[in-house]
Amino acid sequence: MLLIYNNPAVIEAMAEDEKARIFADVDAIMAELTESGELVGGEALAQQARTVRVREGVPAVTDGPFAEAKEQLAGFLTVDCVDIERAVEIAARWPDAKLWAMEVRPVMTPDAGAEM
C-alpha cells in the first residue's frame, strides 16, 4: 500500500498551472499502473478526521490525527507489485513524494505472512 501525505494548505495556495502539472503527473502514473495491471485501487481521503482513544473504558475523541501536524494522510493506493522495491519505485515517482512524503507498507495477508 502506498500512503500519500501532503499539506492541503500548500496545495490550496499553489498556482493553477502548478496544480495542473501535479495532477497530470498523477494521471500519467495511474494510467501506467492500470495498463500494467499493478493498480488494485485507491482513494483520496477527506481532510476531516477524528482520532479515537479508549482509556480505562472511556473513549476520547479529538479532531484530526494531530492538531500540530502540517502534513496529513491524503489518500492511498493499493498496488500489486513483484516486490517492495517496485512499490518504492512507484512511490518515488508520485508528486507528493517530491513535496511531502509517501509511505510504502506491505499489506498483511494470510498467504503472505506478517512481513513481506
Q: What is the pLDDT of residues 29-49, one digit of tens each?
A: 999 999 999 999 999 998 888
**What would the DSSP string read from start to end of 70-98?**
S-EEEEEEEE--SSHHHHHHHHHHSHHHH
71 CB-contact burial (10 Å; exposed 0-12 / middle 13-18 / buried 19+): middle
More confident residue, 51 or 27: 27
Q: Which residue has the cell 498467504?
A: 111
- Give 46-89 pLDDT, tens digit per residue: 888 888 999 999 999 988 765 556 788 999 999 999 999 999 99
Question: Under the phi-then-psi rule, with left for phi > 0, alpha for psi from -120 to 50, and beta for the rest, what region is 56?
Answer: left
Q: What is the pLDDT of residue 50?
A: 86
